[in-house]
Amino acid sequence: MKRFVLRFLRSPEGVAGLILLSCLVAMALLAPVLFPRDPLAIVGRPLTAPFTDASLPLGTDRLGRDVLAGLMHGARASLLVGIFAALVAILVGAVVGTVAGFAGGLIDEALMRVVDAFQIVPGFLLALAFVSVTGPSLPVIVFAIALGAWTGPARLARAEVLSIRERDYVAAARVIGMHPAEIAFKEVLPNALPPVLALVSVIVASAVLIEAALSFLNLGDPNIVTWGSMIAEGRNVLRTAPYLSIVPGFGLVLTVLGVYLFGEGLVEGMAHRRRRQ
């Protein structure tokens, strides 16, 4: 673990991503402390320009809501959606891929055809259809995004399990009478998981963008502030108040960039660790 951390810290991409993500996490955690009131509340004159009012550093939107408060509370929504969607996708994908790869035969064929069926539909369109039918809320959006993201981890987990299941320690576990499910999830899955975890950064970045796109189309949770809804709000006054869309858009860019760079550092550290093994 110590060598992995040292290897990660030697990666410029990983360190840059860690710094960006640390700032975003700090924003999300400090949002209810620095802005305890509802970020949707009206706090000033509409369309106050940035840096013209000390109490409203980034100005206000068309209704007089604080843009800085919305930006910080929006970071919470984006990170929550990205992290939980990635966790659900990795969990479902790892379980399905492990079962398919370890069982083989008809079970493998059936599960892989299900994976193929989900991969036919682009993730955004699947999330759009699901949210349109069930109604927008944060848990529904997380599940809808994970619904289109679990296939990648499933395929990768299956490939890793296929290469691991014939190794000597797996054969020894069979000889001593361990149950197949116990072998699959206690002996095989932990060794197949590291490459699957490398997909977390891709899934988180994709989830953040999909959530923003859904919110931009008014399919986000109406009870919370999101960067996508802020961008959608600003498009109506893009010529007179471009900052309303630029500020949350810049937040999205930094989030995706930070997640990508952090993921690059993790992949480099894990690849080095696997080479040593």
**Residue 66: φ, ψ to 5°:** -70, 120
- Could you tell me if residue 143 is inside a domain? yes
What is the tally of structural domains in the chain? 1
- Could you tell me if residue 237 is inside a domain? yes
CATH code (residue 197): 1.10.3720.10
- Could you tell me if residue 114 is inside a domain? yes
**Which residues are bridge partners to 36 per DSSP?**
none
Write the pLDDT tens digit of every residue in 115-134. Answer: 999 999 899 999 999 999 99
- Could you tell me if residue 53 is inside a domain? no
Instruction: Give the pTM.
Output: 0.88
- Could you tell me if residue 97 is inside a domain? yes
Two structure tokens written together for 217 = 């189309």
Element (H, E) at 200: helix 200-216
> Mapping DSSP to helix (H, G, I), strand (E, B) and coil, where does residue 29 land?
helix
- Axis crossing angle, helix 67-103 with helix 200-216, rounded to the nearest 10: 130
- Could you tell me if residue 52 is inside a domain? no
- Axis crossing angle, helix 138-147 with helix 123-134, rounded to the nearest 10: 140
Write the pLDDT tens digit of every residue in 186-237. Answer: 889 988 888 888 888 889 999 999 999 999 998 988 888 999 999 998 988 9
- Structural domain for 126, as ranges: 2-47+58-276
User: Cβ atoms within 10 A of the Cβ of 121, count?
Assistant: 13
